[in-house]
Amino acid sequence: MNKQAILLKQARLSSVPYKWDIVRVSEACSIRNDLRKPISVDERTTIQGIYPYYGPTGILDYLNEFLVEGEFALIGEDGDHFLKPDEKPQTILAQGKFNVNNHAHLIESTAICSAQWFSVFFKHRNITDFLSRQGANRYKLNKAILGKLPILLPPLSEQKAIADLLCIWDKVIEKTELLVQMKKRRLKGQIQKFISQRCDVWPHVKPKKIFDTITDKNFPEEELLSVTQDHGVIPRSMLRGRVMSPEGTTAGYKRIKRGDFAISLRSFQGGIEYSNYQGIISPAYTVLRPKIELSSDFYRLFFKSYIFIEKYLNLAVIGIRDGKQISIPDFLSIKIPVPPIEEQHRVAEALNVAQQELDILKKLLNKYKTQKRGLMQKLLTGEWRIKPEILNKYKEI
């Protein structure tokens, strides 16, 4: 097997596109770790300034002097971000005058590979097969391993054209993420206005008088659901990335129906989740089903609110540090607000507008990210090529 065939196999690629090449990073890029500047947190406080101080995931601080100038790609030396490259970018493109700590590798442009190309090529590429594992979820990328990574190399003009196209998508995604954050703040403000400021005047009742705990089992034919902090209870098929499948039978899993809630020992981290689906969930969760008339929309929002988690759910937390967990019997015995049903509906209706606006933006953001991943898969492997008339403009630069 020749060198090219070996690199293609390592990169999980079938062929090298026309006029492209495949080489190792050490053969194409300049790794400039001599420019790193390790500084302790205490030291940084004494030399505050205007020049960014980067770590592998972004800017950590600003210093009064700089060691690096120009355009460099940064890739982390260790961390858990290698596990889910789709969700956590592995590279940063740093420009201007700045500094970098000793936990990131610096990649400088060469005559055959730009720092920008290195950044986009490895930004979301899974490289865990090459890395040494440090614990359950952490990997190590030392300089020697980095140098051995295979990288596809288009001509410089095509590198620039592809990177610029993907940069447009990054800007659209970044703007949408900012809009999502704005809508989240608006919803939080609305919850403060309609719920937090009213909690003390509403009647309070123990959850065990509002909900039944359900332990329906032996429904292995039902759809397998996952309980998530961001999306509530959803079909496992909707989850991205690697999803662990249950070992053995799911007969012991609990059935949950639409309108039910799921609480776990770790719910103090993000509240109680609402289910819009019927299916089965892990037996580690307790299923709560309303036994009195209530507004599911009201409690769906209330159970995720800051005031519920901090003022009410926190009363049921036992243990400390890593041993913290929710005591389900304690939760069922604390008292939570139960507004008159008409008021529940009014509050839910007011908050649902803000929630729906947020949900629309989240779906749009996910759509953009999915489209970008598909575009990257095509462009970074040469399956789709930049039109000659566009490439000619880059050749003229």
pLDDT surpassing 90 at residue 263: yes
Confidence of residue 116 (pLDDT cuts 50, 70, 90): very high
Summarize pLDDT for 149-179 with one digit per residue, the tens. Answer: 999 999 999 999 999 999 999 999 999 999 9
Residue percentage of the chain with pLDDT more than 90 = 72
> Rg of the chain's alpha carbons, rounded to an integer?
26
pLDDT surpassing 90 at residue 73: yes
Lowest mean pLDDT among 5-14, 56-65, 244-253: 244-253
pLDDT at residue 276, as a whole number: 94
Summarize pLDDT for 179-225 with one digit per residue, the tens. Answer: 999 999 999 899 988 998 899 999 999 999 999 999 999 999 999 99
CB 89 within 8 A of CB 104: no
Lowest mean pLDDT among 245-254, 360-369, 378-387: 245-254
If one compares 248 and 124, the residue with the highest pLDDT of the two is 124
CB 151 within 8 A of CB 141: no
Please state whether the predicted TM-score (pTM) of the whole model is above 0.85: no
Q: Cα–Cα distance between 105 and 253 in angstroms, integer? A: 46
* C-alpha separations of 353 from 243, 285, 294 in Å: 32, 30, 19
CB 127 within 8 A of CB 95: no
pLDDT at residue 238, as a whole number: 84
